[in-house]
Amino acid sequence: MSAPAAQVPVSTTRSGGSAPEPRTGRRKPKLSFRHRASAWDRRYSPYLYISPFFILFAVVGLFPLIYTAWVATHDWDLIMGQGEFIGGENFMAVLGERGFWISLRNTLSIFILSSAPQVVIAILIAYLLDYNLRARTFWRMGVLIPYVVTPVAVALIFSNLFGDRFGLVNSILETVGIDAIGWHSGTLPSHLAIATMVNFRWTGYNALIFLAAMQAVPRDLYEAAAIDGAGKVRQFISVTIPNLRPTIIFVIITSTIGGLQIFDEPRMFDQYGRGGTDGQWQTMTMYLYELGWTRSDFGQASAVAVLLFLLIVAIGLINFVITRRISSSEVKR
């Protein structure tokens, strides 16, 4: 049986023209409309599926952010509306007021008192819930109950618990021989009381996030650690915590964003909603509200909003860099 003869390409070169590609005898198959539509679907449909989120974000997130920055550079009154362009005068006026720095101090203080203990307690609760407890579904759902309670109800309950004269907390302190604390008159006591409200609402929510991450840790790691003689505490430190790094970073970032925007709890801490007689617990969002809706100065209120946004971005980046550096240093060990 003889081998088939090789096909010799036919040259069609003309004098003075470029050499065309040799013909191979194969023609590119012509795609039908159905095949072209299928190719377009595979190429562009993922962008179409995620586009609603970005469109919605552009409308309700990006546009208000840009518009707030625009208002901050104008003399903008609640009644008279837009005034003339004044550049950074609103920022300079806000930074020159004592109330802004007091609100900044209060915001950072409440944020630190609430976020750090919240993450630690949430991890410990999640570790306990990860055991084979009886009625574990009940316990796991129980930690979420404070989250579904409205912030107003939480604030009303805790403002009575931390009442200066007839509050339950002061009654217990007096029973054990400790003087009553002015939870509403003192700066640090008021911050502790408000941080307690925040921790009450958000600790269970974060505990469930950590619990979901713990259940994704391979059980083989615990068995190997137990064979090597590691106890429960050692397994928690050497196995559980390292596998929770991405989740810890996520919770820290979200806690930073939420903690610096705290408004409901401090506003409802007393019946006046002004953050105390001397601004003991007035946060930046409450100060923004006062500028915009009490003094009717939208320009300065928008300037505070822009400064708060920059503060959240700065602290979020610091948290991200620190946690990533700690994680990378532990991996190198």
Chain centre to alpha carbon of residue 215: 22
Q: What's the mean per-residue pLDDT of the chain?
A: 84
pLDDT in tens, 142-200: 888 888 888 888 888 888 899 888 889 999 999 998 888 999 888 999 999 999 999 99
pLDDT at site 5? 44
Distance of alpha carbon 117 from alpha carbon 250, whole angstroms:
16
Question: What structural domains does the chain harbor?
Answer: 40-88 (no CATH), 94-331 (1.10.3720.10)
What pTM, to 2 d.p., does this model score?
0.78
- CA torsion 246-247-251-254 (nearest 10°) is 60
- CA torsion 32-36-38-43 (nearest 10°) is 170
Distance of alpha carbon 37 from alpha carbon 22, whole angstroms:
31
